[in-house]
A = this chain, B = another copy of it.
Amino acid sequence: MYSIFISTTNIEWTIPASLLTTLTTPSNPSNPSSTTPPPLTTLPQTTILTPLDLKITSTPTATTLLTHPRTRKYTAEAVTTAFCKRASLAQQLTHCLTETFFPSVLARAKALDNHMAQTGEPIGPLHGLPISLKDSFNPADTNAALVDILLSAGAVLYAKTNIPQTMMTCDSVNNVFGRVLNPHGGNLTAGGSSGGEGALLALRGSILGVGTDVAGSIRVPGLCCGVVGFKPSAGRVPYGGVAGSGRSGMVGGIPVVAGPMGHCVGDMEVWLRAVLGGRPEEGDAGVVGFPWQEVQEVGDGRLRVGLYVEDASRPLHPNMRRTMKAAVGRLEGAGHTVVDITEQVPSMAEANAIAGRLFSMDPDRTAAKHIERGGEPPIDSLAITYTVGESLPEPSLGELYDLNVRKQGIMDRMRRVWLDNALDVIIAPGYQSCAVPHDTYGMPVYTAFWSLVDYPACVLPFGKANAELDRAELRDVVYEPAYKPEEVEGAPCHVQLVGRRMKDELLMQHAKIVEAVLRE
């Protein structure tokens, strides 16, 4: 258990007011000014971060950093200090944090260093690695099961990250901690619901974070903020003890899953190996408890990639249309086979309607009532999720079962699509655009689909919105939300990679191959 510090930054890590002027939230967040604030990814030049802090926090991947506590290049204390400081700066720029545990984790880091000095051995596969956690991971009375596993593996859990009111929207805003800004443009959503993670990672205030995802809440902030996000299959990573906003005992819908966010697929693997190696079934009766499955299949390394182009209800914006074409071109150029499966995949709009109705199968409207009873204003983007204060048709058992029959039908069809095309992996957009202006994201159709069928899915950053290049992809269609090239210029684009249910290890191996191609 952690002691909780309400203040989220140490006083000596405060950015001088003069340097913060250009970084404030637009005055009306739901109607952002058309003047795009400057990207926040370059930290202000203060003396708060020492050269060592900068060097440590600029380490490209957690995998690289993890070798250091063992070789003693950096102590756990130095690594932890550097990330605590940089997270503190990131918080001041983007409101990405909710709680920090800086003094207690510095003590833990020292203890880890002592252990290493005395035994020459790490205490686990994540020895000395700072890991940030979405706010919903409980430190209130007892640790969430996943927290205990990460601690046993040697992680240093130093900060918790901001989320939307109720967690059921793609804009991470609430009345307590404010709005998470996107480091790639203060007018853009950081995504949600793990939006604080996305912003913190993009600013390298974290090197590996943990989010949760029920319709895209890991992948949406990942793709908005230009970082990697991996949504595992349900039942592999423990979710026990994580706070939810909905009714207790809701069942038959789409399970929420916890998963990693970071800077490369290899880091996702390091994290998942550590979690699956931590006997997660001992802390959470809902976990299936199979250890990491070593991937046997290698073949010649040439993948059969199923290409899902778009759903007619959400035409790809020019930036993502160009990005997807570029990704396919790279893959084919590298000798992989790309097969278009778009027409065979069930309607994502219809699947999204099923998912949306499954989310509303709470006759008590628990989350909406929390807002009403608390007397706090609902955040703007919640309009897509809950109709606060309005009476809706009462959900029923019969409707839940009917929705489940339709969901099973979609799962059966996807199983056939996969087998009929002998796929290794699917490539698809994670959203119809790069990050869009605040409160315009809408329903996350391209991520919710894979949540409904419970397929593991991963977003990788790839390319950037570029109005000049993107112009060639402009079509005479109704874009939703509106396509505003000047607002999104330079924002990171992405691809989404999808594997088969429970075959998370295989997806990771395939995603590493695709990542290497896209990063060439």
Contacts and interface: CB of A to CB of B under 8 A. Distances in A.
Given A364-B398, A415-B282, A503 B247 contact: no
Contacts of A362: 397, 401
Contacts of A248: 401, 405
Contacts of A408: 249, 285-286
Contacts of A411: 285-286
Contacts of A1: none
A401 B235 contact: no
Contacts of A395: 397
Most-contacted residue by chain B among A250, A252, A362 (CB, 10 A): A252
What is the total number of copies of this protein in its complex?
2
Given A285-B408, A401-B248, A290 B502 contact: yes
A501 interface: yes
A398 B363 contact: yes
A401 B250 contact: yes
A395 to B, nearest CB: 6
A361 interface: yes
A362 B398 CA distance: 8
A399 B414 CA distance: 32
Contacts of A414: 285
Contact of A285 (B249, B400, B412): B412
Contacts of A402: 249
Nearest to A248: B405
B401 A247 contact: yes
A251 interface: yes
Contact of A249 (B249, B282, B405, B453): B405
A501 B289 contact: yes
Nearest to A233: B288
A404 interface: yes
Interface in A18-47: none
A403 interface: yes
A405 B251 CA distance: 10
Contact of A288 (B252, B282, B453, B502): B502
Given A282-B415, A414-B285, A397 B363 contact: yes
A17 interface: no
A249 B401 contact: yes
A401 B247 CA distance: 8
Interface in A363-390: 363-364
A362 B403 CA distance: 14
10 contacts: A250-B404, A251-B400, A251-B401, A285-B411, A285-B415, A285-B501, A286-B408, A289-B500, A290-B293, A395-B397
